[in-house]
Amino acid sequence: MISPSLDPVDWEDFRALAHQLVDTGIDHTRDIRTRPAWQPMPEDVRVRFRAPLPRTPLPLTEVVAALERDLLPYPMGNIHPRFHAWYMGGSNPTGALADFLAAIVGSNLGGGDHAAADIDRQVVDWCRQMTGMPDGTSGTLVSGGSMANLVALTVARNVKAGVDVRVHGIQAAPPLRFYASAQVHGCHVKAVEVLGLGRTCLRLIPTEPDCRMDIALLQKAIAEDRAAGLRPACVIATAGTVNSGAVDDLPALADLCRAEDLWFHIDGCIGALIALGPRHRGLVEGVNLGDSLALDPHKLLQAPFELGCCLVRDRDLHRATFALNQEYLQGTTRGLAAAEWLYDYGLQTSRGFRALKLWMSMMEQGADRMGQIIDRTIDLAADLRARLSATEGFEVMHGCGLNIVCFRHVGPDEATRKARNIETMLVLQDEGTAVLSDTTIGGQHWLRAAYANHRTTPEDVAALIGSLERLH
C-alpha cells in the first residue's frame, strides 16, 4: 500500500526503523575510536553513488541499509579524535538529536511569531554574550563563517560607500578599499568579488614574522590610498588565522579604525569563542571591539554543520542593509506575522532551525564547561608544540598560536622537505592513524595540526608524536 502523503503507511514500522537508526548513530559515535580517522572509499561504493535518479519506491529499510553500508564507514573523519586537519569541530550527539528535532518541527526561520524564532534570537544573543559584544548588538545565524563574513562585509560596504548602494549599485560609489592581512581567509576574497568590489579592492597587508598584520604598513597603505583618491572603507582583522592561529592586534586596530573612520570587522571564525575559555580568553583580547564579528559555532562549540553567526554592533545599520518590504510578508498587529522578520538581517528568506543544535548543547553542558573544553584545545596545541620542539628531527614554526601547530620534519632544502612531509601526511591518512593537513607560509611548507575537536585528548597528541617519530 502507498501512503497518499509522504508519511509512513505503518507508523509502528517506521518507529521501529527510526529507533534502530538512532541506535546505529549512537553506536557509530560511541565506537568512533575503534575506526580509522579516515579511509578511502572502494570503487564499488563510488559506483553506487553514481546511479541515476530512482523512479520507483524502495522500502525504507533498504534505503537505510544502503547508507549503513556505503555512508557510515566513509565519513570525512572530523568527528574522530585524531582528525587534526583544517579547522573543524567534532559535532556532538545532542546536536544531532537537535537537528532531528528541528526537522520534525520543520519551522522556517525567515521569521514569524513562533518558538523556534525566539530560540533563534536567543542563540544569537548567547553568541553575543559569549564574545562580549555589547547589549543591543544584532546578529543572524548562517551556514558558516564564510557566509557570516559575507553578511558583515555587505553591511560594511553599504555603510561606507557614501551612496545608497542598494538603490544605485556599487558603480555609483567611489572606489572603496578594504584591508586585511596577507593571512586572511579566502572567503573574504570571494566576498569582495560577489559584492562587486573586485579583488583589487582588498589590499593585503604584509604580516610581521609572527603572522600578525603589520599595523605600520596598514597605516601607510591607508594614507597612500587616500592620497590616490580611493576611499578606505573597512579593516578586516583576523582573530585566529587559518594557517597558523595568529591573532591580529585587535585593540590597536580598533583604535586605528576609529581614528580613520573605517568599519572594523573581525573574522573570529577560529578565535572568537576562545573568549569563553576561562584560562585562555586573554589570547583574543579585543575580540568584542569590532563593528561586526563573524564566529563559527560549528567549530569550537562543536555544533554539527552548519552553523555560523554574524554579529553587528549597530542593529539599525545591519537591518538597513537587508530589510525588504514585500507585499506577501506584511507584518500584522497579532498572529503569526506579528514579529519582526528575521530575513531582514541576512540574505536568506527561508532559513532552517539551525539554532536548536546550539541551544540544546549549551543548555545541556552550560557555557562554563564549553569554555573549559575550548581551553583544553589550546593546551593540546601547546603540548604538541613543546614536545615536537624537543624531538630531534622536527621543527615547529615560530608564531603559530591558539590551537594550531605548524611543524615539519627537518630536511636539507624546501623541495625535499616538502615532498617528505607531504608523504608523512598521506601515510598517516592511508593508515587512518591521524589526519593532518598542510599549508605554505612565506614560501615555506609546513604540516599543520589544528585542535578543535572536543574528543581529542593528550593521549592523542602523544600518539601523533609516536607516529611522526616512526615515520621519521
Ligand X SMILES: Cc1ncc(COP(=O)(O)O)c(C=O)c1O
CB-nearest residue to ligand X: 145
Of 38 and 87, the one with the shorter C-beta distance to ligand X is 87
300 binds ligand X (CB under 6 A): no
91 binds ligand X (CB under 6 A): no
381 binds ligand X (CB under 6 A): no
Q: How far is the C-alpha of 106 from the C-alpha of 466, rounded, in Å?
A: 47
Piece in contact with ligand X (CB under 6 A), picked from 20-28, 145-153, 319-327, 439-447: 145-153
What is the 3 state secondary structure string of 375-414? HHHHHHHHHHHHHHHCCCCEEECCCCCCCEEEEEECCCCH
Q: How far is the C-alpha of 377 from the C-alpha of 245, rounded, in Å?
A: 12
**Cell numbers 573544553 correspond to what residue?**
373
Smallest distance, ligand X to C-beta of residue 185, A: 4
Smallest distance, ligand X to C-beta of residue 285, A: 17
Smallest distance, ligand X to C-beta of residue 300, A: 11
CB neighbourhood size of 12 (10 A): 8
Nearest-5° angle of CA 135, CA 232, CA 180? 70
Contact 255, 207 (CB under 8 A): no
Piece in contact with ligand X (CB under 6 A), picked from 67-75, 143-151, 322-330, 458-466: 143-151
269 binds ligand X (CB under 6 A): yes
**Cβ neighbours of residue 239 under 8 Å, at least 6 residues apart?**
247, 248, 250, 266, 267, 268, 270, 271, 272, 274, 284, 287
Piece in contact with ligand X (CB under 6 A), picked from 262-270, 365-373, 394-402, 417-425: 262-270
Q: How far is the C-alpha of 309 from the C-alpha of 124, rounded, in Å?
A: 7
Contact 311, 295 (CB under 8 A): yes
Q: Site size for ligand X, by CB under 6 A?
A: 15
Smallest distance, ligand X to C-beta of residue 453, A: 14
Contact residue for ligand X among 145, 232, 297, 401 (CB under 6 A): 145
Smallest distance, ligand X to C-beta of residue 349, A: 20
Which residues inside 205-244 make contact with ligand X, applying CB under 6 A?
238, 240, 242
Smallest distance, ligand X to C-beta of residue 157, A: 18
Contact 145, 198 (CB under 8 A): no
Which residues inside 382-441 make contact with ligand X, applying CB under 6 A?
none
Of 183 and 467, the one with the shorter C-beta distance to ligand X is 183
Smallest distance, ligand X to C-beta of residue 173, A: 25
Q: Cell triple for residue 82?
A: 585524531
87 binds ligand X (CB under 6 A): yes
**Cell numbers 524564532 correspond to what residue?**
117
Q: Name the residues that contact ligand X, by CB under 6 A.
A: 87, 144-146, 149, 185, 187, 238, 240, 242, 267, 269-270, 296, 308
